[in-house]
Chain A
Amino acid sequence: MNDIITTACKFVTSSIGRKILVALTGACLLLFLVGHLAGNMTIFGGDVAAGDRSWIDFYATGLHSMPAWLLWSIRLGLLAVALVHIVLALVLKYENYNARTHYQKEGTLKATLSSRTMVLTGLMVFCFIVFHLWQLTFNGDPANCYQHILHAFQQPVCSIFYIIAILCLMMHVRHGLQSVLQTVGLSTRKVRPLYNIVSWAFAIVVCGAFISIPVCVMLGILK
């Protein structure tokens, strides 16, 4: 038992161990993103569908009518995953900053913009999530979800903020997905180009679908 604890301690303080933790929590967050998107897409069911309620209202009340212990364990679990992801990533970044001495003339051969701005786009997404929770989760009425979202996105400032934040998320996810696969050791020369394509496709499809909501509201397609 002592061996296990000693090794576990060494693992979570090593560079690779912490990277693997960031990767695995990142993978959980990617899965959450897919689930969240699936729920969001019910908004395209229109205003009044299931009886006298729109699909998204139905979905939102469904989520809120979960037993409190289940709802809160999911929420706290997500919070814990996000905190591990953010805190470890920042610690690693801090170490990386200290490990460097800077060039007078910087040059880059291959590193993409999204890969070099992970912390920046990640923090943007974090700020967005805080605002998003405040605006729609804690100040929303699940029974009136459709109108609430419509009202929010009819303000161009709000819509544009959402679109910019999701574009940051897209950059983050583009590098993040293939980075997860590399860090957990699932990458080889043969499949890496494929992973790159899959990461691009995932980022474009998922983030494009998220963006489609404020865009459709602004264009008057959803009303």
Chain B
Amino acid sequence: MANLNLTLKVWRQENAQAQGRIETYKAKNIPDEASFLEMLDIVNEELVHEGKEPIHFDHDCREGICGMCSLTINGVPHGGKKVTTCQLHMRQFKDGDTIWIEPFRAAAFPLLRDLVVDRTALDKIIAAGGFVDVRTGAAPNANNMPVRKKTADAAFDAAACIGCGACVASCKNSAAMLFTSAKAAHLNLLPQGQPEKNKRVLAMVRQMDALGFGNCTNLYECEAACPKGISVDNIAKLNRDYMIACAAEAVGVFA
């Protein structure tokens, strides 16, 4: 066990309208088993002791499953280690490192304060079509609806998306294609998602466009930054499904 002394360059901004700036802080005596958020907690405690405003950041479960934590670390969302910021440990850094900490940036993610951004846009994409209409009632019998193993695996991999927005933040175009495609694919692959497939694809893509996200240019930066390893295969599938859905809409296959 070793303790680290770090220099932090942190984005500070009082509110959405204020002019933001980078401020420098010293993080002293940080244990290397601390998570990145715990490191910020230590820095914040010191700031509070000094009577200063602590650094505001998003967090919730701190076990890598909720998608609430964000932070762009050294220009890469979640630090680019295939984990969420809460699961990123300080042993990944060296004593004396300078770490840049910025919010997830995209025009569709308005900044609220310091490192906190509003990711409601992603929820709006889900609300547009990222669901299945099913009758409630008792749980269906197991294996009542056969699903091929390969299909089930692909749907599960897509469903692993926690909606953190790292794909948008890492994208050089601020496109939300990885998020939208994963959320669409996980339903479109399964039998339960078939009846509303075309409707879902059109609604989600049109909502995504309307929210002011950029357009994908196949940089695959999203896949590399995704803490859940969501594959850009889903984007190719969404492109395919979108063409099919447009064709179906044009000939009036569904109302």
Contact = CB atoms under 8 A, between A and B. Distances in A.
Interface of A: 3-4, 7-8, 10-11, 14-20, 92, 95-96, 98-112, 115-116, 118, 175, 178-179, 182-189, 192
Interface in B203-252: 205-206, 208-209, 212-221, 223-225, 231-233, 235-243, 246, 249-252
A95 B249 CA distance: 26
A96 B221 contact: no
Interface of B: 9, 11, 22, 72, 74-76, 80, 100, 102, 105-108, 170, 172-175, 177, 205-206, 208-209, 212-221, 223-225, 231-233, 235-243, 246, 249-252
A95 B225 contact: no
A162 B92 CA distance: 47
Given A104-B11, A110-B224, A99 B235 contact: no
Q: Which among B173, B206, B232, B237 has the greatest number of chain A C-beta atoms within 10 A?
A: B173
A7 B249 contact: yes
B235 A104 contact: no
Which secondary structure characterizes the binding site on chain A?
A: helix
Contact of B215 (A15, A179, A186, A187): A15
A95 to B, nearest CB: 6
Contacts of B75: 103, 105-108
B220 A100 contact: no
A104 B237 CA distance: 34
Contact of A3 (B102, B174, B219, B251): B251
B246 A96 contact: no
A108 B107 CA distance: 19
A178 B80 contact: no
A3 to B, nearest CB: 5
B102 A183 contact: no
B235 A182 contact: yes
Contact of B172 (A3, A4, A100): A100
Nearest to A112: B219
A120 B214 CA distance: 18
Nearest to A105: B100
Given A19-B216, A104-B11, A184 B239 contact: yes
Given A111-B221, A187-B236, A104 B214 contact: no
B218 A179 contact: yes
Q: Which among B22, B174, B219, B233 has the greatest number of chain A C-beta atoms within 10 A?
A: B219
A108 B250 CA distance: 40
Nearest to A101: B105
A104 B175 contact: no
A21 to B, nearest CB: 12
A183 B224 contact: no
B252 A96 contact: no
A187 B239 CA distance: 10
A19 B215 CA distance: 8
Given A16-B242, A100-B106, 18 more contacts: A7-B249, A14-B206, A15-B213, A15-B215, A16-B238, A19-B216, A96-B175, A99-B106, A99-B175, A100-B214, A105-B75, A107-B72, A107-B80, A109-B221, A115-B217, A115-B220, A179-B218, A185-B239
B218 A182 contact: yes
B175 A187 contact: no
Contacts of A19: 215-216, 239
Nearest to A116: B172
Contacts of B235: 182
A105 B108 CA distance: 20
Contacts of B107: 98-101
